[in-house]
């Protein structure tokens, strides 16, 4: 098996960089020698980059993003990889979340972690079967400090109606949680909207995701069981942006969403 065939882009960010480098070069019908001229490297160095034998430097990533108009794709990938989070998409996305100037969240199952009360978080962690309950709760509460920074991030949050109706813990836990949701939704930098059950089938039923804007570049965290994955490819990001807009078309306005949350809260 060749070095290129052994690449595992789903398990290593450096391997993902190598695969994306070759893919983008071939899409532009550019030879390895031409790419070498662009990066001031010889042909063999380009071959080693594409086989994952050597790592792409940040200065070269910036050249690629500028010349190929990839909206920061390679710079962000190198940033993640240098941080040492190759297989740890779940943790890596938290670091990007803290730095995000904008967050667009679609949630199909749970109140978003940034908005959870401690009691709700504790019930969710217990339900997830984690051993160190206190540790997991503390980490999630720590994440919420990012909402307090100056300037604060702008958030657009859309929730499936089932999220606010599904009991998590006892009625008091849910009442407090929904009150917290209303409190945050009243802030000028935060929009909370509900997609009602009457919306029927729509693209959001495929799963939850989060679009994060960091230093002008967008990336997407797609949730899944036991973690999730990060998507930074421009085409993927555009698709999720479009899906977010389509889900928004089905959501209630902000005021009507707040009224629905109040009605559900009174029912607990």
List, for residues 177-199, the tens digit of each pLDDT value. 999 999 999 999 999 999 999 99
Q: Does 234 score more than 90 pLDDT? A: no
CA dist 85 and 44 (Å) reads 28
CA dist 88 and 91 (Å) reads 6
What are the structural domain ranges in the chain?
13-82, 89-115+141-266
Q: If you count DSSP H runs as helices and E runs as strands, how many of each does the chain have, helices first? A: 12, 6
- pLDDT at 1 (0 to 100): 45
Query: In this structure, are residues 49 and 56 in contact, taking their beta carbons and an 8 Å threshold?
Result: yes
Q: pLDDT per residue over 119-165, tens digit each? A: 999 999 998 888 889 998 998 999 999 999 999 999 999 999 999 99
- pLDDT at 15 (0 to 100): 84
Q: For residue 158, what are its two tokens? A: 């859309």
Q: Which CATH architecture has domain 13-82?
A: Orthogonal Bundle (1.10)
CA dist 233 and 215 (Å) reads 16
* Crossing angle (nearest 10°) for helices 73-82 and 13-27: 160
Q: Does 34 score more than 90 pLDDT? A: yes
Closest CA to 116 of 174, 194, 189: 174
Query: In this structure, are residues 107 and 245 in contact, taking their beta carbons and an 8 Å threshold?
Result: no
Cis, bond preceding 151 (omega within 30 deg of 0): yes
Q: Compute the Cα dihedral for 48, 52, 53, 56 and give only its sign.
A: positive
Query: Is domain 89-115+141-266 classified as CATH 3.30.870.10?
Result: yes
Please state, for a pLDDT cut of 70, what percent of the chain lies above it: 90
Contacts of 110 (CB under 8 A, 6+ apart): 116, 124, 163, 168
- pLDDT at 91 (0 to 100): 67
Sheet hosting strand 102-107, strand order edge to edge: 190-195, 154-160, 102-107, 209-214, 217-224, 227-231
């Amino acid at each position: 098996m060749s070095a290129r065939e052994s690449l595992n882009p789903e398990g290593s960010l450096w391997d993902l960089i190598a695969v994306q480098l070759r893919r983008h070069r071939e899409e532009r019908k550019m030879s390895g020698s031409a790419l070498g001229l662009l990066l001031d490297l010889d042909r063999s160095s380009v071959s080693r980059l594409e086989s994952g034998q050597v790592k792409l430097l940040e200065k070269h990533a910036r050249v690629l993003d500028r010349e190929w108009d990839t909206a920061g794709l390679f710079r962000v990938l190198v940033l993640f990889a240098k941080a040492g989070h190759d297989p740890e998409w779940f943790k890596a996305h938290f670091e990007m979340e803290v730095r995000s100037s904008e967050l667009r969240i679609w949630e199909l199952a749970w109140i978003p972690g940034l908005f959870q009360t401690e009691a709700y978080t504790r019930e969710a962690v217990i339900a997830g079967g984690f051993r160190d309950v206190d540790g997991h709760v503390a980490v999630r509460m720590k994440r919420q400090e990012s909402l307090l920074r100056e300037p604060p991030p702008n958030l657009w949050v859309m929730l499936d109606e089932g999220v606010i109706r599904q009991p998590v813990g006892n009625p008091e836990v849910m009442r407090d949680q929904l009150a917290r949701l209303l409190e945050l939704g009243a802030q000028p930098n935060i929009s909370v909207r509900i997609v009602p059950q009457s919306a029927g089938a729509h693209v959001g039923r495929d799963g939850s995701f989060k679009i994060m804007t960091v230093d002008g570049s967008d990336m997407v965290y797609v949730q899944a069981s036991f973690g999730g994955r990060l998507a930074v490819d421009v085409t993927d990001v555009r698709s999720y942006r479009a899906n977010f807009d389509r889900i928004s078309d089905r959501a209630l306005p902000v005021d009507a969403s707040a009224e629905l949350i109040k009605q559900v809260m009174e029912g607990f």
